[in-house]
Amino acid sequence: MERRRLGDGLTVSAIGFGCMGMSQSYGPSTGTRDDHIALIRSAVDQGVTHFDTAEVYGPYINEALVGEALAPVRDQVVIATKFGFDIKPEGGWRGTDSSPEQIRRAVDGSLQRLGTDRIDLLYQHRVDPDVPIEDVAGTVKDLIAAGKVKHFGLSEAGPETIRRAHAVQPVAALQNEYSLWWRRPEDQVLPLLDELGIGLVPYSPLGKGFLTGAITADTEFTEGDIRGTIPRFETEAREANQALVDLLTAIAAEKDATPAQIALAWLLAQRPSIVPIPGTRKPMRLAENLAAADVTLSGADLARLRAAADEIQIVGARYPDYLERMTGL
Q: Which CATH number fits domain 3-324: 3.20.20.70, 3.30.830.10, 3.20.20.100, 3.40.640.10?
A: 3.20.20.100
Q: Would the CA dihedral through 222, 201, 239, 248 be positive or negative?
A: negative
Write out pLDDT tens, residues 82-112: 999 999 887 788 899 999 999 999 999 999 9
Contact 295, 261 (CB under 8 A): yes
Cα angle: 153, vertex 137, 124; to 5 degrees: 40
Domain parsing of the chain, residue ranges: 3-324
| Residue-level pLDDT at 272 | 98
Q: How many CA atoms lie within 13 A of 125 on its CB side?
A: 25
Give the C-alpha separation, 56 to 64, whole Å.
Answer: 12
Q: Of 26, 57, 60, 203, which residue is the catalytic one?
A: 57
123 is catalytic: no
Round to whole Å and give the CA distance between 154 and 284.
31
How far is Cα 16 from Cα 2, in angstroms, rounded to an integer? 11
Residues 289/211, Cβ–Cβ less than 8 Å = no
Tens digits of residue pLDDT in 168-189: 999 999 999 999 999 999 999 9
d(CA 126, CA 158): 11
Q: Please tell me the distance from the alpha carbon of residue 128 to that of residue 322, in angstroms, as a whole number.
A: 14
pTM of the model: 0.97
pLDDT digits (tens, 9 = 90+) for 195-247: 999 999 999 999 999 999 999 999 999 999 999 999 999 999 999 999 999 99
Question: What's the pLDDT tens digit per position in 40-69?
Answer: 999 999 999 999 999 999 999 999 999 999
